[in-house]
Structure 1
């Protein structure tokens, strides 16, 4: 998978191509992703202090709005995997709470089963995001980068932004 620089953080980006960002096949469907991103140095603060991380994350985050060509079938698979991971995680957490509340003397042994469901949900959610989704990150130079894109999409973006030579 490739990474593509699309603009500056804090900007609205509309990619007007007909190549799916994830599969590389022609598509007319688009998906708008909104959110916020922080520079990479903010993550380092999590190793030192949680309060400092939360403060720096709140102060350094910049919002984005990116419209990408995304096959609706591929996008739906990504979203279905996200919903499944969240559902399994919630079922596991409810199982842990019920085991602690209802369990008599075997709380430790019975907590392992819902705990394993929570771990499986976390691993499944991360794998789903890596294999089926795209990520949007900020570089230290405030560039907006879309990660885990199909190489065909990356080539199409590079070809689209390349200006023709004038003689």
Structure 2
């Protein structure tokens, strides 16, 4: 497996990402993630839709909380052709609890807690701590990546406007 040393930092400390870096034009890898009801979700479950995938370390941290709430607020304005997914290694039960407490209804939270295959497939698993790096992917209706932003410092927020514009542009 590819290891990308110092690909990101966490509070200034260099971190290694596992997996190849995905770029615009690449096919989005399939995934098997758990939904809050413990059902399995794959890329095929969102066929025909634009997917804005917000990858975060943990919903129970301030930046991830802010990011997911922001995408939840904006998701309603994207229309039925776009689905907003937040992926973390939080357990589905923790995600469900967090979504309920935060009133998040427009973002679907998915968990990579069980098999830990999403992280390496998307090149976002942090070797040193086992969490996922902060990255945004916009995947078009044909499952091609049309936008990506790896946030260089994991403790910082992504460029919301660019991600939302990419999702709208992929409709």
Please indicate the TM-score interval, normalised by the length of the shorter structure.
under 0.3
Which one has a larger percent helix, Structure 1 or Structure 2?
1
What TM-score do the two structures reach when normalised by structure 1? Answer: 0.25
More strand by share: 2
Calculate the TM-score normalised by the size of structure 2: 0.24
Q: Name which structure has the greater RCO, CA cutoff 8 Å, separation 6+.
A: 1
Larger radius of gyration: 1
